[in-house]
Amino acid sequence: MHTKPANGTRRLRAPSALMAAGLLTLGTACSASDDGDVTTLTSIDYNLAEPQNGSTQAMLDECGEQAGVEIERDAQPRDQLMPSLLQGASQQELPDLMLIDNPDLPQVAATGALLPLEEAGVDTDGFYDSALEIGRHDDTLYGITAGVNGLALFTNTAMLEDADVDPPATWEELSDAADELTEGDTSGYAFSAIGHEEGTFNFEPFLWSNGGSLTELDSPEAVEALDFWSRMVEDGSVSQSVVNWSQADVNDQFLGEHVAMMVNGSWQIPVLDEEGLEYGVSPLPVPESGDDPATPMGGEVWAVAQNGGEREELAVEVLQCLLGDDNLTEWAELNAYVPAKEDLADQMAEDNPEMAPFVESVPTAQSRTAELGEDYPEVSGAIADAIQEALAGSGSAEEALGQAQQSVPTS
């Protein structure tokens, strides 16, 4: 092993001077000057960890200063954010700006409390169409992302070289490579199949690239995709422990060289670089050569509450600043995300070739909520249950997905 990626590219750069940490407790009410002008806006997110916490604060401070307002920010734990937002929406007390995980956006948008961004004049020129799609609900743009993430195949360079195995590009090649690389305590391949959204997130590329959909979970295409996963667990090239592994756990197994290949996200690149493992990154294998990968689009979106004329105008002005090219690039590099604008993403791929597979996947990446809207979380949970059942061997892929299909709303 050596201390740099095989491609020898530079690491993602460290965050810039926008690192002044600060966590403020706030209410949702704004402040106004003596003459009635709005002087303070509120914002909420779940970026509690560093360096994202400090960077979010600094970007809001900078953009608020440009708009002539102070931003009072509240950063809450991930699992507390949505209950807080839904309660705020019901009481018409949402913060002016919100940073929300994109699959959660439709639940807030469905309350009618969010500002349609295109009608408010938010500039979307240069953004990937697929990146904008994750912010839409009922064909209206309510959220816009600064950067997106997705999944790719990470390979242990030394293990593949020793076994004379090339990074696989198709499902058949993946199965053969996993089998060849499985030896002793080392599994050839791993993914997260944990019983919640992370497991579903990892399965969706296989479902979609095989022609399946989230509304027809009992289709032959969906069953074939889950059966492909099940067979690899059954033959031992994938550990049955994947039903308990989060994506971070899978990365730990890869770092410990207990796994030769893994599905994981771009956000793991800084961790891998820090640990010094030699690795490669390639697009996720597809059913047949020439098929397009179809990864789920990850990342957060900024949204603006309908809080009245001047507050909305100032919040949009702050949002436009947050979406400036320098901030998009910095946010993407900080999180190992792909910038939401195509020209910035192309530059990132050129500067950091390990990000190239993730940039390549963005145009065909799919929104998890496009088909199901606010019903996605329930269906995602049912899919995760089906994955657990099939991989544990307590039911066939057909039986498990047939059960999951019952969670899909009928129109």
Phi first, then psi: give them for residue 298, nearest 5 degrees. Answer: -105, 165
Q: pLDDT per residue over 16-26, tens digit each?
A: 333 333 333 33
pLDDT at 195: 95
> What 3-state DSSP class applies to 384?
helix
Cβ proximity of 338 and 149 under 8 Å: yes
- Please state, in angstroms and rounded to a whole number, the distance separating the CA atoms of residues 222 and 71: 46
pLDDT at 24: 35
pLDDT at 146: 96
Cβ proximity of 106 and 369 under 8 Å: yes
**Cis bond upstream, residue 220 (ω within 30):** no
Every domain of the chain and the residues it spans: 40-144+300-336, 151-297+371-407
CB atoms closer than 10 angstroms to residue 21: 12
Q: pLDDT per residue over 141-184, tens digit each?
A: 999 999 999 999 999 999 999 999 999 999 999 999 999 999 99
Q: Could you say which residues of the chain have pLDDT below 70? A: 1-36, 411
* Fold type of domain 151-297+371-407: D-Maltodextrin-Binding Protein; domain 2 (3.40.190)
pLDDT at 38: 87
Tell me whether domains 40-144+300-336 and 151-297+371-407 share a fold.
yes
Q: Domain 40-144+300-336 class?
A: alpha beta
Give the angle 234-239-244 at the CA atoms, nearest 5°.
115
* pTM of the predicted protein model: 0.84
pLDDT at 9: 30
